[in-house]
Amino acid sequence: MTLQAFLTLAAALFAVGLYGALSQQSIVMLMMGLELMINAVLVAGAAFWFYLAPASADGQVLVLVAVTVMALEMAMGFAVVTALMRARDVDVTDDAGDLKG
């Protein structure tokens, strides 16, 4: 177990999540991709804490914030999907491109 091994795991999870977020049509599947990307942040944060700065708890606090962000992201994402579904019967990203610039 080294810092590099943990960060490689984080990089792999991040890339898989990015692929999902970019390629999925369904908005809820897109959110699964985002969750995987935050998952990678959790691994990287924990590894940075353990291997670089274990004396202070800042790394642990960062992981705690990332876990919270993940839960909030999911709650708001589902609320937006539900609102979109109610208003327009839309659940795929291609039909929700109103803000495309």
Partner 1 sequence: MRTVVFWVLALAAVGFGVAVFRVDSMARATFALLASFLCVGGTMVLLDLHYLGVLVVLMMIMEMMVMAVFMIMYMMNPAGLMPMSMLHNRRGALIISGAVLVALVAGVWTVDWPERAGRPPGDPTRALGEAVMGAQMPVMIVVGVAILATMVSAVVLATDRGRYDGGDR
Residues 70-89 that bind partner 1 (CB under 8 A): 70-72, 74-76, 78-83, 85-86
CB atoms within 10 A of CB 27: 19
**Of residues 20-59, which lie at the interface with partner 1 (CB under 8 A)?**
20, 22-29, 32-33, 35-36, 39, 42-43, 46-47, 49-58
SS3 54: coil
User: By CB under 8 A, is residue 15 in contact with partner 1?
Assistant: yes
- Min dist CB 101 to partner 1, Å, is 17
User: By CB under 8 A, is residue 95 in contact with partner 1?
Assistant: no
- Min dist CB 99 to partner 1, Å, is 16
- Min dist CB 98 to partner 1, Å, is 16
SS3 75: helix
Cα separation, 78 vs 72, whole angstroms? 10
Give, to the nearest 10 degrees, the angle between helix 3-23 and helix 27-51.
Answer: 170
Cα separation, 62 vs 51, whole angstroms? 15
- Min dist CB 100 to partner 1, Å, is 14
